Chains A and B, each alone.
Chain A
Amino acid sequence: MASHGIKDQVAIIGVGCTPFAEHWDKSLDDLIIDAAHATYASAGVAQTDVDAFWFGTSQSAASGLAMAGPLKIQGKPVTRVENYCATGSEAMRQAAYAVASGAYDVVMAVGAEKVKDGGYQGLNAFPIPTDGTQRTLTAAGMFSLILPAYSSKYGVDEDQLRYVVARIAEKNHFNGARNPLAQFRRETSAEKICQMAAVAGKLSVFDCAGVADGAAGVILCRAEDAHRYCDNPLYIKALSMVAGTGAGSLDPDYDYTTLDECRWAADDAYAQAGVADPRSEIAVAEVHDCFTPTELLLMEDLGFSERGRAWQDELDGAFALDGRLPVNTDGGLKSFGHPVGASGLRMLYEVWLQLRGEAPDDRSIPVTGRTLGLTHNLGGYPGEMVSFVGIYGTEPG
């Protein structure tokens, strides 16, 4: 038994993404329709050309009806997918496997979230009956536990580390400012962020992902059929998903300086794709920067930095637009916004633009000859999360 992957069996032939924003004037249906039709246009297919659909939403709706209804999809399978904040990637993963299995020729995944109808700032978990003993901390509170742990493990001064993660937000705002679809399009400085009031641990609201409504989509087909639809498709090199056991909240060995599920998913994905050295092979990475400390740890867990060195690499600008491995070139969750079910597909949208040389000039990555892009999407908390890593390339084989 092994994780074989589906390298080069499935191609991406079209993507679509709505602006991520507080869409007071758009419903979930509107967002689904906008994203789906943008995706059809990108792929040059009609809705009737698509054989099966996967719809990812964390808590805006239930069942495939939520997509079939507004799009008036007739007589086709539509499956609703949920896997916390990795929902969008999970929808795409299911769709890709359906093509690889031979069950369908052309499939679509759409992820969407309507968070601004809830009446509260931030994201709020759907209430499931419990015994009342569960932790009630916010996600910001949970991820804020990373900083003191990292500081003490690697001997990085707490104020210094706080500045480092503010630099991550600064970088992502810089990129988002150059993205017309992003929620926050204003640059900010790490110094300003450090001066803001803390809301959870040392984190300020500017260390948190933007909370936005939005939707994104992707259309996939068999790799050998790709050129029927598209001159320069992307090929799926790896899709990996790991669900943790919740070890972090019960195992004293867990120290809040690594996200095991992300590391395992990355290792599996690199094996599937045949990537030996991500630092020299990945051209662009879109990662799940739900909070600034998350991106810090991800640089190590994804193998972009040596263990305990990501903070220094961040200061050196290694992951900036012109750095050695540009990360979150579209602004990331931080600046692009985080409509939960859509975020994983939004990442893929950016990889599509960057690898095909279609990103706007002011935020296109340096030409390196590398042909691979990576998306990383997680859901949950340090020590108890689901994690997805996908790798895509411009060349088959």
Chain B
Amino acid sequence: MRGIIASGAYIPHRRLDRREITEMFGKGGGAGTRSVASFDEDTTTIGVDAARNALGGTPGIAPDSLWFATARPAYLDKTNATAIHAALRLAPSVGALDMGGAIRSGIGTLRTALGGVGTTLVVAADMRDGLPTSSDEAAGGDAAAAMLVGDDTTAPVIAEHLGSGVATDEMLERWRIPGGSRSRTWEERFGEVAYAPLMKQAFAAALDDADITPESVDHMIVTGLHGRAVKRNTRGLGIPGEKMVDDLTSKVGNTGTAHPALLLSSVLDTAMPNETIALMMLADGVEAIVLRVTDAIVDHRPAAPVDEQVAAGAPVGYGKFLSWRGMTEVEPPNRPAPNRPSAAFAHRRNDWKFGFVASRDRSSGMIHMPPARVSQKGGAVDDMEPVSMADTPGTVVSFTIDKLVHSPSPPVVFAVVDFDGGGRAPLELTDVDPGDVSIGMRVMPTFRRMFTSDEIHNYFWKVRPLRSTEPGSGS
């Protein structure tokens, strides 16, 4: 049996109230909220978070390949999946590929993995926006989702792949030139009409491949950035409304490339054995996947269920959103911009920089962050073992708010963190409002983009407040 072994999602902490857009410009916006990646996040970092959430429930299971799909890659030419690979501390023998560019690549990568061989970690991430007041800005959202795909000979499969269907069509319905700040679309009616037969074709092919009828579908997911085509054409599929899966657009927004896997992850969080899930996406044609939930789902323990993440979060003002997205430039502190990191230096320390791997002195037990060769306690030389800190919670022992230092979004909230079981590091605290920081606050490492200098994204780890629903949050 082949299918999904584990799933996980990541919805960034911040939410933009769409009414703020309307208030600011007198148009655009609307009701509800959308998710907003922080200034220190990009599709690579949120991909890491989703992958950690997916793998968190299946300790010991490592993929053979990592495929990363996004329409908003942090780099071109250079593979972004290798940064996720490094942050997950996967072995060099594990392949890492970008399936980037088009929104369709998210569901297409998942379908390809389901139809392939070996154990593949599929990560899809996207950050959607457009010019101020555009519908893309208000309707878009930021999120990532990850699916570990493989055979039940490797690990229990929670959702079996029953079949897939594809209807490919070259059409100029939505497009964007590399580096462009906005997507463009043809008039709405064109896509609505063009997608209708493609949906029927792909859905029929998938059902046929799965050897099931439409009546046996328990959870129907239909998504795509052409909202009207999705809504209108879904009616023609003959699926009762109660079987339609909440598309999260009212609180999270449409997260493009990530959305099929995000919605699938939300269904898997609560699905029951033997339920059938159909997943379909409209993007330059239609891709459809049919899955059946297995008995193993009862042991599926999502590290961070989607509904909890949807319910969590904190507001971000529209002005900050615009500055984070580069739509408006705000005055930085009058300090020199940070120096670009050295590629050679960073490469020597990939384990620390990307994996947050410290060293533990075998004789004294002291944990050194960053890893050291000579022990702070006792001075033993070259007697250290690596110790991963990425999943270790910690406690803030002191903190400060620095309004002088250069930051992509001042002020910097900075904390001295003592990690459970040993190890101290001074780290930036993120996803927090300065007034909410306190000594004793429980925090968790999170992979972030510190700054970008000379077109080099400087990735490293910060800490974020541990959510009350997470293990280790304490009292």
Residue A148 at the chain B interface, CB threshold 8 Å = yes
Contact call A252/B418, Cβ cutoff below 8 A: yes
| Among listed B42-50, B240-248, B313-321, B339-347, interface-contacting one | B339-347
| Among listed B126-134, B194-202, B368-376, interface-contacting one | B368-376
Residue A315 at the chain B interface, CB threshold 8 Å = no
Interchain nearest-CB distance for A256 vs B (Å): 6
Contacts across chains A and B counted by CB atoms under 8 Å: 120
Contact call A256/B398, Cβ cutoff below 8 A: yes
The answer for the CA separation of A282 and B97 in the assembled complex, in Å, is 68
Q: Per a CB cutoff under 8 Å, which of B349, B370, B402, B425 touches A137?
A: B402
Interchain nearest-CB distance for A100 vs B (Å): 30
Residue B236 at the chain A interface, CB threshold 8 Å = no
Contact call B398/A131, Cβ cutoff below 8 A: no
Could you give, for residues 371-405 of chain B, a 1 whenever the CB lies within 8 Å of some chain A CB and a 0 otherwise?
Answer: 01000110000000000000000000111111111
Contact call B405/A136, Cβ cutoff below 8 A: yes
Closest to B374 in A: A245
Residues of chain A contacted by B414 (CB below 8 angstroms)? 135, 137, 141
Counting chain A residues whose Cβ lies within 8 A of the other chain, the interface size class is 35 or more
Residue B15 at the chain A interface, CB threshold 8 Å = no
Residue B172 at the chain A interface, CB threshold 8 Å = no
Could you give, for residues 320-364 of chain B, a 1 whenever the CB lies within 8 Å of some chain A CB and a 0 otherwise?
Answer: 000000000000001110111110111011001100000000000
Interchain nearest-CB distance for A136 vs B (Å): 6
Interchain nearest-CB distance for A260 vs B (Å): 12
Given A132-B353, A148-B399, A251-B376, residue A137 in contact with residue B346 (CB < 8 A): no
Residue A48 at the chain B interface, CB threshold 8 Å = no
Interchain nearest-CB distance for B378 vs A (Å): 12
Given A130-B342, A200-B403, residue A136 in contact with residue B412 (CB < 8 A): yes
Q: Per a CB cutoff under 8 Å, which of A127, A201, A249 touches B400?
A: A201
Residue A31 at the chain B interface, CB threshold 8 Å = no
Interface residues of A in 119-138 (CB under 8 A from B): 120-122, 124, 127, 129-133, 135-138
Residues of chain A contacted by B460 (CB below 8 angstroms)? 132-133
Closest to B379 in A: A245
Could you give, for residues 148-170 of chain B, a 1 whenever the CB lies within 8 Å of some chain A CB and a 0 otherwise?
Answer: 00000000000000000000000
Contact call A131/B342, Cβ cutoff below 8 A: yes
Given A131-B353, A136-B338, residue A200 in contact with residue B370 (CB < 8 A): no
The answer for the CA separation of A174 and B471 in the assembled complex, in Å, is 54
Residue A46 at the chain B interface, CB threshold 8 Å = no
Contact call B450/A136, Cβ cutoff below 8 A: yes
Given A136-B405, A245-B376, residue A124 in contact with residue B335 (CB < 8 A): yes
Contact call A137/B426, Cβ cutoff below 8 A: yes
Residue B406 at the chain A interface, CB threshold 8 Å = yes
The answer for the CA separation of A148 and B400 in the assembled complex, in Å, is 9
Residue B424 at the chain A interface, CB threshold 8 Å = yes
Residue B233 at the chain A interface, CB threshold 8 Å = no
Could you give, for residues 425-462 of chain B, a 1 whenever the CB lies within 8 Å of some chain A CB and a 0 otherwise?
Answer: 11100000000000100000000001000000011100
Interchain nearest-CB distance for B387 vs A (Å): 13
The answer for the CA separation of A251 and B376 in the assembled complex, in Å, is 8
Residue A247 at the chain B interface, CB threshold 8 Å = yes
The answer for the CA separation of A247 and B364 in the assembled complex, in Å, is 15
Contact call B349/A201, Cβ cutoff below 8 A: no
Closest to A202 in B: B400
Residue B273 at the chain A interface, CB threshold 8 Å = no
Interchain nearest-CB distance for B188 vs A (Å): 45
Interface residues of A in 207-256 (CB under 8 A from B): 245, 247, 249-252, 254-256
Residue A144 at the chain B interface, CB threshold 8 Å = yes
Contact call A145/B398, Cβ cutoff below 8 A: yes
Contact call A133/B336, Cβ cutoff below 8 A: no
Residue B422 at the chain A interface, CB threshold 8 Å = yes
Given A129-B342, A132-B460, A133-B353, residue A138 in contact with residue B376 (CB < 8 A): no
Q: Per a CB cutoff under 8 Å, which of A132, A152, A199 touches B403?
A: A199
Closest to B335 in A: A120
The answer for the CA separation of A141 and B402 in the assembled complex, in Å, is 5
Residues of chain B contacted by A122 (CB below 8 angstroms)? 335, 404
Residue B102 at the chain A interface, CB threshold 8 Å = no
Interchain residue pairs with CB less than 8 A apart (23): A120-B334, A120-B335, A122-B335, A131-B345, A132-B341, A132-B342, A132-B458, A132-B459, A136-B406, A136-B450, A137-B400, A138-B335, A138-B404, A144-B402, A148-B399, A198-B401, A198-B403, A249-B424, A250-B423, A251-B376, A252-B397, A252-B418, A252-B424
A-side residues, CB < 8 A to B, are 120-122, 124, 127, 129-133, 135-138, 140-142, 144-145, 148-149, 152, 198-201, 245, 247, 249-252, 254-256
B-side residues, CB < 8 A to A, are 334-336, 338-342, 344-346, 348-349, 352-353, 366, 368-370, 372, 376-377, 397-407, 412, 414, 416, 418, 422-427, 439, 450, 458-460
Q: What 9 A-B pairs come out closest when comparing CB atoms?
A: A132-B341, A141-B402, A129-B342, A127-B339, A201-B400, A132-B458, A131-B346, A131-B345, A144-B400
Known: A141-B414, A200-B401. 7 other contacts (CB 8 A): A129-B341, A132-B346, A133-B460, A137-B412, A148-B398, A199-B403, A256-B398
